């Protein structure tokens, strides 16, 4: 009995409540690194920023990027394991609930633009891998300003989640959809209504205007329509995502996380393309 308990507790760390089993092994850590530094790209928002918004790579995921919108002035949090200014004091279960459900240990709700609606899809094992990765980061002391919301945040983004099963990579289209969810592609590539809500009946139709220091970029139509990716080859789509250039080699503007996406594996890129090809064809939702 004793021996069994010992084996179980070293192989698996059962996290109370969330029911997430965090395999604290090298494979999980490597998976977390691959996801966070790739398709999930937490750093596209959480990388430390200086006073002029310039990325401070040596300060890692210690936050500070400001997002100004009529509805909010949000500031990305410090998600390094610093005890005072980061998430160092949070348990794995608390981190899991924050990332997948948008609820902090003090029960407050994490606001936009953190894409919680998409993060609700994280499988238990990928969530555990991401937490293992965050825990292994060097702690960075970096106090960031508090976000201000001019809108009422929802009490929650949905019912509590106990468990999310992994989608097998052998099911290419379904796995591609999973990757697109955890990469929150559709958060930018779907048009919004006048209240700022995603128009999910136009999933992937683009046309969202995204202002920033780069001026304004407009998200593209990713559906298999002539105004979207219908006439693009797989190789052209893959090049656009990984290298951030269009079919003529012209670089795209931010904020899509091309610098992260360059490390997406060939198999994962093929799954993403299979998913995009399966979307309902839609006319480009922009002008």
Site of interaction with ligand HEC (CB under 6 A): 39-40, 42, 44-46, 67, 74, 76-77, 79, 87, 98-99, 104, 110-111, 113-115, 130, 147, 180, 183-185, 187-189, 210, 217, 219-220, 222, 237, 240-241, 246, 252-253, 255-256, 272
**Least distance from ligand HEC to the Cβ atom of residue 2, Å:** 36
Are 217 and 210 a contacting pair, CB within 8 Å?
yes
Q: Which is nearer to ligand HEC, 183 or 191 (CB)?
A: 183
Tell me the angle at which helices 124-136 and 26-36 cross, rounded to the nearest 10 degrees: 90
Give one DSSP letter per residue of 217-230, joined into a string: EE----SSSTTTTT
| Range list of β-strands (E), 150-257 | 209-212, 215-218
Of 59 and 220, which has the nearer Cβ to ligand HEC? 220
What does the block give as tokens for 269? 């890129």
CB of 282 to ligand HEC, least distance (A): 13
CA dist., res. 204 & res. 199, Å (int): 10
Q: What is the smallest separation between the CB atom of 10 and ligand HEC, expressed in angstroms?
A: 25
224 neighbors 276 (Cβ within 8 angstroms): yes
Choose between 44 and 125: whose C-beta lies nearer to ligand HEC. Answer: 44
For ligand HEC, give the closer residue by CB, 114 or 132: 114
Task: Give which of 240, 269, 278, 275 is closest to 256, Cα–Cα.
Answer: 240
Considering the complex, what minimum distance in angstroms separates the CB of residue 115 from ligand HEC? 6
Instruction: State both tokens at 251.
Output: 């670089």
Of 104 and 192, which CB lies nearer to ligand HEC in the complex structure?
104
């Amino acid at each position: 009995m004793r021996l069994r308990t010992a084996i179980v507790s070293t192989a698996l760390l059962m996290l109370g409540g969330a029911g997430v089993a965090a395999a604290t092994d090298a494979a999980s850590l490597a998976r977390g690194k691959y996801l966070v530094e790739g398709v999930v790209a937490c750093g596209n928002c959480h990388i430390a920023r200086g006073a002029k918004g310039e990325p401070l790579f040596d300060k890692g995921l210690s936050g500070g990027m400001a997002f100004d919108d009529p509805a909010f002035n949000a500031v990305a949090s410090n998600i390094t394991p610093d005890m005072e200014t980061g998430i160092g004091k949070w348990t794995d279960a608390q981190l899991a609930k924050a990332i997948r459900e948008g609820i902090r240990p003090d029960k407050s709700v994490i606001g936009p633009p953190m894409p919680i609606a998409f993060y609700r899809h994280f499988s238990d094992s990928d969530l555990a891998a991401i937490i293992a990765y965050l825990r292994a980061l060097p702690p960075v002391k970096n106090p960031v300003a508090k976000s201000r919301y001019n809108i009422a945040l929802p009490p929650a983004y949905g019912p509590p989640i106990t468990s999310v099963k992994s989608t097998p990579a052998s099911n290419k289209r379904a796995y591609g959809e999973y990757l697109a969810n955890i990469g929150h592609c559709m958060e930018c590539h779907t048009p919004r209504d006048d209240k700022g809500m995603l128009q999910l009946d136009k999933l992937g139709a683009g046309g969202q205007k995204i202002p920033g220091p780069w001026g304004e970029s407009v998200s593209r139509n990713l559906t298999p329509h002539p105004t979207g990716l219908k006439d693009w080859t797989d190789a052209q789509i893959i090049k656009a995502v990984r290298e951030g250039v269009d079919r003529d080699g012209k670089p795209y503007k931010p904020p899509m996380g091309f610098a992260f996406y360059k490390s997406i594996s060939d198999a994962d890129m093929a799954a993403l393309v299979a998913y995009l090809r399966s979307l309902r064809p839609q006319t480009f939702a922009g002008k």
